[in-house]
Amino acid sequence: MALTFQKVHPCFAAEVSPIDLRGVHDPATLAEIRAAMDEYAVLVFPSQPFTDAEQLAFAQRLDGELHTKTGARVLVKSRLSNEAVADISNLDEAGGIMKSADRRRMYSLGNRLWHTDASFQDPPGRYSMLSAKIVPSVGGDTEFADMRAAYDALDPEMKVRLEGLRVHHSIAHSRQTLGFEFSADEAEALKGAIHPLVRTLPRSNRRSLYVAAHASRIVDWPVPEGRLLLRDLIEHATQREFVYRHAWRVGDLVIWDNRATMHRATPFDDATHRRELHRVTTLDL
């Protein structure tokens, strides 16, 4: 089926014409979606009433193996059906709103930092697919930054400086910057992974900055010097010209490429409003 893509930002991100992804099995349409991911890096599919099982099956059809080693699983068993479905919500097992001091809430506040999913694993995350079940009437949007456009805009001297650098990513690091504390066992289970700071994306051959809140240090550099450079790059990449803000509607499925983007949640009144989204991430094998 031929799809149409309506750009929603000058650099990247597009909304796709009506299609029910639950029924998409043919290789040609799946290939068209992958090609559009290479170009736009973020795709918005409205009106996708996925169950978790349907979302998992679609993610596998589109991109293969799933990421199951989430950071959250080290803290607590998920209330959802499968460890491959990340619970992006402020809800407890009974569907009630979590208490403000709930440790799971404190941990998930880390999603408000610019991040890439599963960069703390090897292999890291490739595509993430977030399905909106319940959205607050105000706030709780998700922002995406185009890390390819951010790389392109660097001056030539900086591009040379970044060549060959490697970065350690750790979800414990991003949470610790907010003051979240891990037990020794949790920290041991979340030791992190090392990835290149600049990645070349297969097929498009575009180069992309691979940094985010999980980036704890540049390998072989003094830690403060590395963190300052990482901070400067995140500031550069999150200038408004590189950022698309998605206002959720129930039923939206948004797919993004974690190699080409960073994202973050924006605040909402989580003491009185529910927000529930289910995320599935594939592995960048």
Smallest separation (angstroms) from ligand SIN to the CB of 222: 30
Give residues 102-121 in contact with ligand SIN (rule: CB under 6 A).
111, 117
CB of 269 to ligand SIN, least distance (A): 15
Q: Which two tokens stand for residue 77?
A: 């068993």
Min dist. Cβ of residue 214 to ligand SIN (A): 11
88 in contact with ligand SIN (CB under 6 A): yes
Looking at 265, 282, 283, 284, which residue binds ligand SIN (CB under 6 A)? 265
In angstroms, what is the minimal distance from the CB of 258 to ligand SIN? 10
The verdict on 21 binding ligand SIN (CB under 6 A) reads: no
One DSSP character per residue, 168-213 reads: EE-HHHHHHTTT----HHHHHHT--EEEESEEEPTTT--EEE---T
Q: Return d(Cα 88, Cα 151) in angstroms, integer.
A: 29
- Tell me: does residue 255 bind ligand SIN (CB under 6 A): no
Nearer of residues 48 and 142 to ligand SIN, judged by Cβ: 142
CA distance 56 to 130: 11
Q: Indicate the Cα dihedral angle 154, 155, 158, 160, nearest 10°.
A: 110
Alpha helix segments (H runs only) across the chain: 27-40, 52-63, 72-75, 103-108, 147-152, 156-162, 171-176, 184-189, 223-237
Nearer to ligand SIN, 29 or 90 (CB): 90
Q: Is 142 in the site for ligand SIN (CB under 6 A)?
A: yes
Residue 282 touches ligand SIN, criterion: CB under 6 A: no
Q: Where does this chain bind ligand SIN (CB under 6 A)? A: 88, 111, 117, 130, 142, 263, 265, 279
